[in-house]
Amino acid sequence: MSKPENAMLNRVRKELEPLGYYTEKITPVFSNGAPDLYIEKQGVDAFCEGKFIPRKTIHVGDFVTAEMPIKQLSALQHAWVTRRLANNLKTFLLVGYSSYTYAMFRSLDAAEHAPVRNKRGIVEDIEAYMNAP
């Protein structure tokens, strides 16, 4: 996990934990291919794969596709996320474009569009996803 990616996940974790979420970073030493972050609240869990793709030209309110983050997944990460999604288990890609711009993708469809959000907005997106049936 790169330093910017790690910092991005830590920023989001710090926002989720006061809201009652348990979060745990997954260390890749013995878990290659596993997503970077485990999130749980009230019996609902999700796994998050984080990617940091610096882009100064992307701003809050823009729409982006999942194509670039999907290309950055390793074969093991892609397989892990694919298995989770195939079993209808909550899994998402969290992409950071700067220290204040994020997007969340809920599938491995390269054409999926997502709005670019600030930190508070992405936390709201994660909460909505966690609370959805």
**pTM score:** 0.92
Quote the mean pLDDT of the chain. 93
Distances (CA, A) of 14 to 19, 65, 67, 71: 9, 26, 28, 28
Domains of the chain with CATH codes: 3-131 (3.40.1350.10)
Residue 31 in this model has a pLDDT that exceeds 80:
no
Cα–Cα dist 10/66, whole Å: 22
Residue in 127, 7, 8, 119 with CA at minimum distance from that of residue 60:
119
CA torsion sign, 50 to 55 to 60 to 62? negative
Give me the residue label for tokens 């909550």. Answer: 90
Mean local confidence (pLDDT), 120-131: 97
Least confident of 31-40, 56-65, 70-79, 88-97: 31-40
Cα–Cα dist 102/84, whole Å: 22
